[in-house]
């Protein structure tokens, strides 16, 4: 299998961590590309009409995307403990995963606004609204989700840990730990995983 990848993409990082955690890492070749909404890479646009990474090409079926679908697919390929539980826990894990990915969406969109748009076309209230989505979600993680995060690591926890790592990478000034000590302590444990350390974005 071939994974269109970038060392700075948090969505790709989720997939790479899952590959390591599930022992599937050596079944996937990573193809590094650089793509943005206004300068799409041709190979990724051909594989995924949305032009986004990650995208997984398989020898025995069409390419699959996005990161949640890829993670779910990879989780079906290994015999070990599943990141996508079945039964009532499935919906809890999936909702947490959606929350964490939503934080990433807001963070990536706000970054594109400041990096890709010319200064005169930027709209600060819109960026502020994206940051508000992130801070509300962080508060929910600290209060409503912390008990769940303390249980076995599932796809929701994986996405949460990666999203927090992305805030450290791109939004250090947000200082998300300052008012969220339980989440900070949980993330310290997550950040000790070999798979997290092996997928750190370049400084
Ligand atoms: N929902 C997608 C989001 C993927 C995404 O936005 N990836 C970014 C890189 S971090 C990208 O490819 N951006 C290029 C674009 O938006 O055209 C997923 O979970 O895979």
Per-residue pLDDT of 149-189, as tens digits, reads 999 999 999 999 999 999 999 999 999 999 999 999 999 99
Q: Is the pTM of this model over 0.95?
A: yes
Residue 151 buriedness (CB in 10 A; 0-12 / 13-18 / 19+): exposed
Check pocket membership of 8 for ligand 1, CB cut-off 6 A.
no
* Nearest-CA residue for atom 10 of ligand 1: 9
How many angstroms is it from 180 CA to the middle of ligand 1? Answer: 28
Predicted local confidence at residue 203, as pLDDT: 85
- Which protein residue has the closest C-alpha to ligand 1 atom 17? 37
| Nearest atom (ligand 1) to Cα of 8 | 10
Whose tokens are 């801070």? That residue is: 135
CA distance 96 to 20: 21
- CA 193 / ligand 1 centre spacing (Å): 24
Look at residue 201 in the predicted model and tell me its pLDDT: 97
- Is any ligand 1 atom within 6 A of the Cβ of residue 66? yes
CA distance 100 to 138: 9
Q: If DSSP codes are grouped into helix, strand and coil, which group holds residue 107?
A: helix
107 lines ligand 1 (CB under 6 A): no
CB 51 less than 6 A from any atom of ligand 1: yes
Q: For the segment 70-87, what is each residue's pLDDT rounded down to a tens digit?
A: 999 999 999 999 999 999
Q: What percent of the chain has pLDDT over 90?
A: 100
Q: Measure 52 CA to ligand 1 centroid, in angstroms.
A: 4
Can you tell me which atom of ligand 1 is nearest the CA of 66? Answer: 20
Compute φ and ψ for 120, nearest 5 degrees: -70, -15
Strands (E), 34-189: 55-58, 61-64
Ligand 1 centroid–CA 16 distance in Å is: 15
Q: What is the pLDDT along the chain (203 residues), one digit of tens a residue?
A: 999 999 999 999 999 999 999 999 999 999 999 999 999 999 999 999 999 999 999 999 999 999 999 999 999 999 999 999 999 999 999 999 999 999 999 999 999 999 999 999 999 999 999 999 999 999 999 999 999 999 999 999 999 999 999 999 999 999 999 999 999 999 999 999 999 999 999 98
User: Does residue 27 sit in helix, strand or coil?
Assistant: helix
CB 127 within 8 A of CB 110: yes
4 lines ligand 1 (CB under 6 A): no
Pocket test for ligand 1, best of 39, 49, 52, 159 (most atoms within 8 A of CB): 52
């Amino acid at each position: 299998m071939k994974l269109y990848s970038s060392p700075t993409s948090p969505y790709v990082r989720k997939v790479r961590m899952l590959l390591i955690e599930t022992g599937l890492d050596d079944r996937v070749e990573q193809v590094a590309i650089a793509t943005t909404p206004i300068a799409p890479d041709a190979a990724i646009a051909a594989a995924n009409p949305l032009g986004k990474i990650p995208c997984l090409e398989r020898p025995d079926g069409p390419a699959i995307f996005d990161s949640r679908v890829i993670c779910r697919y990879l989780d079906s390929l290994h015999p070990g403990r599943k990141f996508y539980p079945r039964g009532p826990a499935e919906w809890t894990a999936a909702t947490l995963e959606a929350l964490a990915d939503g934080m990433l969406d807001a963070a990536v969109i706000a970054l594109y606004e400041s990096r890709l748009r010319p200064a005169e076309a930027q709209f600060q209230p819109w960026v502020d609204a994206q940051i508000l989505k992130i801070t509300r979600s962080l508060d929910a993680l600290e209060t409503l989700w912390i008990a769940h995060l303390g249980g076995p690591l599932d796809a929701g926890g994986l996405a949460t840990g990666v999203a927090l790592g992305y805030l450290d990478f791109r939004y250090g000034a947000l200082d998300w730990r300052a008012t969220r000590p339980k989440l900070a302590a949980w993330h310290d444990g997550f950040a000790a995983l070999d798979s997290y350390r092996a997928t750190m974005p370049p400084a």
